[in-house]
A and B are shown apart, each in its own frame.
Chain A
């Protein structure tokens, strides 16, 4: 293992594609770990899952029109988010059901389109991603989108905090609650779309939710949660890329497994709320 770790660094210094994959993974993991905190705290985890699946027809249509997959995916992601809100607000159907209805319809449409234009779309890459094959164009797009999202969080930090913690007070005291809520949905869509290249449609929600949920178990302050989530996201991205490059495993899948292992360890063994410690305390 030690030898392969050094080999990884040797490869890293030699191969530009590996350097690109590492830098993209780190930048992206910072962005999704931070956005993920607001998604977890606002109870929007299912929405993240829905958006990630709903972008599939957008990706397929983009290939068909020979435009960047990003444009189509963002358009369909936002359409799904708005569609879910529309069904919920204009009927007595609850949010989880409206998410299920809209996202499965979008996913079905996406699969249909991908199957029909299979020759030009690599379904495997959309479903599971591969950061090692990321193009220069997508790399720059990832940096720009992540930068915009992080800047938005920094600029609107206090509004994000208050609207997430106490939306009623935020509304009553005149804060732009609707604007912030739309901003969160747009950030979620953008990060989901740029993460597709790394982990694909199926697993992207794991990277959005798991680092944040793990940090949630460990912290008492939002600022600490953001830091801890970021560290967990970055560490699991590096571990994932290292194992992927060294043992020729799919990068996204390994990243998801790495962050899931960290979650299980924290869930069981953290000193404050860990399941094992709680059981031990009860016995004592």
Chain B
């Protein structure tokens, strides 16, 4: 039997101040598909991603294809919220996207012509060719989010996490990004994305994970995006969304 792409068993995360951010999280995810993580503010969505990635101390098992996830870190990409970046950093769009090739290159190796060509292809797909020599601080929010997606494309990872990539960006950028994410999911990549706009859920995601200090439920969008399930994490708002 093929192992799960990602398997979480009894994952617990608590902050240094003693607050339990996530308890007893159990989750099994197969290869492929575009997953949405839904939950109210402060429900632990970003914490869940960071714990899976090993960026936060946690208890419990996190397995990637039945192996500890640390062993496969190069097969995993993470697009964090764009507000976490130093926009004055001396780096151009081209170089920023090129950093996506670094994890798989290994120590001491420099990116060659194939890596640079992959960057150009990604910039072209995201409509960023005219900005390739710009410093990142000279871009709009939507353009910079597209840069981060281009970097994720060149990483060519099997499992991809995105944390609220559509906050503060224009509709055109959002449409372009979701188009490429769907394309990647069709090509066998597994994408897990924290998302806040419930109105676009049915259109965007094949599968959903409901989070509220634990994983409340998960599965196909048509099975999860229904009143009785949503009520567990959005006791008031679900009626507005489903109306």
Contact = CB atoms under 8 A, between A and B. Distances in A.
Contact of A165 (B55, B80, B91, B107): B91
A224 interface: yes
Contact of A168 (B76, B80, B92, B103): B80
A106 B76 CA distance: 43
Nearest to A222: B90
A164 B86 CA distance: 10
Contact of B91 (A172, A176, A222): A222
A52 B86 CA distance: 27
A171 interface: yes
A173 B74 CA distance: 5
B212 interface: no
B95 interface: yes
A69 to B, nearest CB: 33
Given A159-B102, A159-B107, A173 B92 contact: no
B155 A173 contact: yes
A229 to B, nearest CB: 11
Interface stretch (A57-65, A213-221, A233-241): A213-221
A184 interface: no
B236 interface: no
Which range contains the number of B residues in contact with the other chain? 20 to 34
Given A158-B105, A162-B99, A162-B102, A172 B53 contact: yes
B84 interface: yes
Contacts of A225: 90
B51 to A, nearest CB: 12
Nearest to A216: B90
Given A158-B102, A172-B53, A172-B55, A219 B78 contact: no
A168 B78 contact: yes
A169 B73 contact: no
Contacts of B85: 165-166
Given A162-B102, A165-B89, A171 B135 contact: no
B54 interface: yes
Contacts of B78: 168-169, 172-173
A186 to B, nearest CB: 17
Nearest to B155: A173
Contacts of A161: 91, 95, 99
B199 interface: no
Contacts of A265: none
B194 interface: no
A274 to B, nearest CB: 16
Given A168-B78, A172-B78, A221 B92 contact: yes
10 contacts: A158-B102, A159-B107, A162-B99, A164-B89, A165-B86, A168-B80, A172-B55, A174-B103, A219-B90, A221-B95
- 8 closest cross-chain pairs (CB), A and B: A174-B73, A173-B103, A220-B135, A172-B78, A172-B53, A225-B90, A158-B102, A162-B99
Interface of B: 53-55, 70, 73-74, 76-78, 80, 84-86, 89-92, 95-96, 99, 102-103, 105, 107-108, 110-111, 134-135, 155, 161
